[in-house]
């Protein structure tokens, strides 16, 4: 067995058979983690082995421990199946990497609805299912590290990739919510926004960037986020090609609307410009942003952990 900083820890990596997922699995295993390598078996070799089998074999050949899982992230049962594989084989789950994703290009008004929905089913709903199943194990154990693999497309949008951007933007919002909910239980959630040359990005990767955008360059950030020593929570971390930067969502300065029932477009543009001249502000959760705008004082976010009933919201939040 490999010994390292993650020895004794168990990780599930969805979409772990190729590209970034493969790099994540190998890096986690190199640090001693035992891995459930997930990848749907769309293509198999002459021996009937798919991408997850090959990565699990690589890990085993290097002295590590891994099992393959073939769940399709679009399957409603996929999250439970992946976490179940970890519990059945290793008896625990410490690290959840929601990485499975597909890309489908096309202008929004031209893209078939079914194609759009397929991207959401894999990228967003698949990650939601995996994170939910992981949380049901991690919260009672009072420990866990969740990494949602998102994209700067989810922050900024992108032309011809509206489905992909929508799916990844959903993960960014979900991750902030999970970070706030899980922290009192020792379950930390962060969002990784990688740039890497993979099967999905191959066609659009500029020639000048191809050499340095190796998926292996992203893996050290992933293993650091998976570490028990990591205290980051709710962060958006952009990385690729040996570089990193922190990202966030901000609101700018609060300005007063003029009195009266109407607002001209010119007046609105002036108000937006005035707001933008102030300092950007970050908020941990939406309730804090509301409290700041409404001058209501610090929000009451409820008890940190309400035990078995905490799957139900304590109350409806004002929006």
Cβ(53)–Cβ(36) below 8 Å: no
Catalytic residue among 164, 195, 236, 283: 164
**What element of type H or E holds 137?**
helix 126-141
Q: Within 13 Å, how many C-alpha atoms sit on residue 63's CB side?
A: 8
The DSSP-derived string for 208-242 is TTTTT--GGGTHHHHHHHHSTT----S-EEEEETT
Q: How far apart are CA 286 and CA 299, in angstroms?
A: 10
What do you get for the CA distance between the two ends of the chain, in Å?
Answer: 51
Tokens representing 193 are 């926004």
The DSSP-derived string for 64-127 is --EEEE---TTSTTHHHHHHHHHHHHHS---EEEE-------B-TTTS-HHHHHHHIIIIIIHH
Q: How far is CA 89 from CA 78, 127, 148, in A?
A: 17, 21, 23
Rounded to 5 degrees, what angle do the CA atoms 290, 295, 300 make? 60
Tokens representing 272 are 């937006």
The 8-class DSSP code of residue 125 comes to I
**236 catalytic, yes or no?**
no
3-state secondary structure at position 194: strand
The DSSP-derived string for 61-75 is HTT--EEEE---TTS
**What element of type H or E holds 188?**
strand 187-194
| Residues forming the active site | 164
């Amino acid at each position: 067995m490999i010994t390292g900083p993650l020895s004794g820890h168990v990780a599930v990596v969805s979409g772990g058979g190729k590209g970034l997922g493969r790099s994540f699995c190998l890096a986690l295993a190199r640090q001693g983690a035992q891995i459930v390598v997930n990848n749907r078996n769309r293509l198999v070799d002459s021996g009937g082995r798919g991408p997850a089998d090959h990565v699990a074999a690589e890990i085993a050949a290097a002295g590590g421990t891994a099992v393959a899982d073939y769940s399709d992230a679009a399957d409603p049962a996929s999250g439970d199946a992946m976490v179940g594989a970890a519990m059945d084989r290793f008896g625990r789950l410490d690290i959840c990497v929601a990485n499975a994703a597909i890309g489908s290009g096309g202008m929004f008004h031209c893209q078939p609805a079914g194609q759009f929905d397929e991207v959401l089913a894999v990228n967003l709903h698949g990650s939601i299912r995996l994170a939910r199943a992981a949380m049901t194990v991690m919260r009672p154990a009072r420990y866990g590290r969740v990494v949602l693999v998102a994209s700067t497309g989810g922050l900024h949008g992108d032309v011809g990739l509206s489905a992909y951007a929508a799916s990844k933007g959903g993960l960014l919002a979900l991750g902030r919510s999970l970070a706030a909910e899980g922290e009192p239980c020792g379950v930390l959630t962060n969002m990784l926004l990688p740039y890497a040359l993979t099967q999905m990005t191959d066609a659009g990767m500029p020639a000048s960037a191809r050499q340095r955008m190796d998926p292996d360059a992203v893996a050290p950030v992933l293993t650091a986020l998976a570490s028990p020593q990591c205290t980051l929570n709710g962060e958006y971390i952009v990385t690729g090609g040996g570089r990193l930067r922190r990202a966030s969502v901000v609101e700018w300065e609060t300005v007063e609307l003029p009195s009266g029932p109407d607002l001209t477009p010119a007046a609105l543009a002036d108000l937006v410009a005035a707001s933008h001249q102030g300092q950007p502000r970050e908020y941990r959760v939406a309730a804090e942003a509301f409290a700041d705008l409404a001058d209501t004082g610090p929000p009451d976010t409820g008890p940190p952990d309400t035990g078995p009933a905490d799957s139900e919201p304590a109350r409806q939040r004002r929006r």
